[in-house]
Structure 1
Amino acid sequence: MNILFVGDIFGSAGRRIVREHIGHVREAHNVELTVINAENAAGGFGVTPQIAEELFDLGADVLTTGNHVWDKRELLDYLSSVPADSQDRARRVLRPANMLPKLPGYGVFEGTTNSGVEFAVVDLMGKVFMNGTNDPFNAANDLLENIKAKVIVVDFHGEATSEKVAMGWHLDGRVTAVLGTHTHIPTADERVLPGGTAYQTDVGMSGPYDSVIGVEKELVLHRFLTGMPGKFEAAKGNPKMCAALITCDPATGRASSIQRIMLGE
């Protein structure tokens, strides 16, 4: 079974490059489950219901997010109105499961692929250098107690490399893949850990690479050089789609391979 995980879509350039490539990648690799991190898809900050629908139309089965999930307030109503047992698209848009209690939305989606394979997608956010989260390690333990599927994909949205690596080892042998997001730079450490969990510290941004992690470079340089605040805007130059392709045994959930993907115009 092949799983495609697309790293953080950033702005219109990211949406465009994903739209250009995702169809032929899914077809070429006979992808059965597609997960996209959409956390920066709307102008680099958040995601709207309309953009979420567009990504589902491109073939996404589940959308994950992170610390920018509430940047577009219209998503609140989109997530608040869906019941826990729904299979509708709105239920397939996740926010980190270990956010503080009583927030809208859900951090786990459990479903079935077209061929009948049960799967779960878990969205977690790191605690190191991040705000508004509870301990992701014990949250993962609690979540896994109630997930029946063998195929489990974890998006770990974190800032600190050490925390991401630790989560990979923490979940090795218990989930199919732990895939890092948030820092927008693809790392060259993809591997299958000894217990059968595919791991990559950061899948990378699907967006403009002639930028500073997606933002117009001149605006970021101005802040570094002067110390003065300014409005950030999403860049558009040199977009690339970054993703990870995982192959696993659907009966056990154990991964056998993970491959980095980086495609440009």
Structure 2
Amino acid sequence: MKLLFIGDIVGRPGRNIIKENLKNLIEENNVDFVIANGENAAGGNGITKKIAEELFDAGINFFTMGNHVWDNKEIFSFIDTEERIIRPLNYPPGAPGKGSNIIEVKNNLKIGIINISGRTFMQALDCPFRTCAEEIEKINKITNIIVVDFHAEATSEKQAMGWFLDGKVSLVVGTHTHVQTADERILPKGTAYITDVGMTGAYDSILGIDKDEVIKKFLNQLPARFEVASGRAQLNSVLVEIDEITGLAISIKRLNMLK
């Protein structure tokens, strides 16, 4: 099967490039399933039900989230019932929603998807390594095709997760930093890996945000209201081919667009 994982969607520019181009990308690359990180889809802060539905209609099959999952309070009204959106698994018990799910892709072919948050320079949640390993054991009883979105800040922590899960999952993709890395590879035991898949949003920006406001913040160190940037947009993603029998990766390549 072919899986497309799209980097963090930031605001209207990110949504528009998805709506205008994703279906063509799916057709051109024979994509079977599309996952995107959607934690910044609504004005750079969280996601709403309306925006999620628009992006599902555009061709996205499933959303992972991250530390901004709760920024738009509307999420509390639908995250418990929407099976196509998950938040980081390692939030404490009692948090709304869930951190993994199993979805049927085609002809009884199922994929397990796990969202996990790092702890280095991030909120101190439960151990991502132990939490993820426990969840993989449960999912393996149903399918061996497993994708992990590791939403983390530190490249070292992301690389550690890749090596920790090598041979246990199909793909470990890093999100959160919004800057695509050039280290995509198949690890020795068959897991596809990239430290960060990048961002889908305004190209002439700082992480999708108006660059002048961010620069001003660095210069004066005063509180600032950040706004999503406008103008041309980029779409960062990785295209991964996975063996449907073994669940291991066959190939991974970056698939990007600038409009």
Shorter-chain TM-score tier: over 0.9
For structure 1, which runs of at least 5 residues remain unmatched after alignment?
A: 83-89
1:48 aligns with 2:45: no
Q: CA RMSD in A?
A: 0.9
Q: Shift of the alpha carbon at 1:116?
A: 2.4
Q: Match of 2:34, as an amino acid?
A: T
Corresponding residue for residue 148 of structure 2: 154
Corresponding residue for residue 158 of structure 2: 164
Q: Shift of the alpha carbon at 1:139?
A: 0.5
Q: Report if the CA contact (8 A) 1:99-1:132 is conserved.
A: no
- TM, length-normalised to structure 1: 0.95
For residues 194-215 of structure 1, the C-alpha deviation after alignment (integer angstroms, 9 at most, x for no partner) is 1110000000000012111111
Q: How does 1:133-148 map to 2 (within 5 A)?
A: 133-147=125-139, 148=142
Q: Match of 2:212, as an amino acid?
A: E
1:106 aligns with 2:92: no
Corresponding residue for residue 244 of structure 2: 250
Distance 2:186 2:4 in 1: 15
Q: Any idea what SS the aligned residue of 2:199 has? A: coil
1:239 aligns with 2:222: no
Q: How does 1:67-78 map to 2 (within 5 A)?
A: 67-78=67-78
Q: How many residues are aligned here? A: 257
1:127 aligns with 2:115: no
Q: How does 1:1-265 map to 2 (within 5 A)?
A: 1-80=1-80, 82=81, 90-147=82-139, 148-265=142-259
For structure 2, which runs of at least 5 residues remain unmatched after alignment?
A: none
Distance 1:61 1:39 in 2: 15
Q: Percent identity?
A: 46
Q: Shift of the alpha carbon at 1:29?
A: 1.3
Q: Match of 1:142, as an amino acid?
A: E
For residues 130-174 of structure 1, the C-alpha deviation after alignment (integer angstroms, 9 at most, x for no partner) is 115211000011101100211111111000000000000000000
Distance 2:100 2:229 in 1: 31
Distance 2:175 2:230 in 1: 20
Q: Report if the CA contact (8 A) 1:2-1:248 is conserved.
A: yes
Q: Report if the CA contact (8 A) 2:184-2:192 is conserved.
A: yes
Q: Report if the CA contact (8 A) 2:210-2:227 is conserved.
A: yes
Q: Report if the CA contact (8 A) 2:18-2:55 is conserved.
A: no
Q: Report if the CA contact (8 A) 2:167-2:191 is conserved.
A: yes
Q: Shift of the alpha carbon at 1:237?
A: 2.5
For residues 196-253 of structure 1, the C-alpha deviation after alignment (integer angstroms, 9 at most, x for no partner) is 1000000000001211111101101111111111100000123101000000101111
Q: Shift of the alpha carbon at 1:56?
A: 1.1
Q: Which runs of 4+ in 1 moved over 3 A?
A: none
For residues 6-62 of structure 1, the C-alpha deviation after alignment (integer angstroms, 9 at most, x for no partner) is 110000000011112211111111111110111100001111111111111122221
Distance 2:105 2:244 in 1: 11
Distance 2:107 2:230 in 1: 38
Distance 1:237 1:190 in 2: 28
Q: Report if the CA contact (8 A) 1:100-1:132 is conserved.
A: no
Q: Report if the CA contact (8 A) 1:124-1:155 is conserved.
A: yes
Q: Any idea what SS the aligned residue of 1:79 has? A: coil
- TM, length-normalised to structure 2: 0.97
Distance 1:188 1:199 in 2: 11
Distance 1:37 1:94 in 2: 10
Q: Report if the CA contact (8 A) 1:96-1:107 is conserved.
A: yes
Corresponding residue for residue 86 of structure 1: none
Q: Any idea what SS the aligned residue of 1:189 has? A: coil
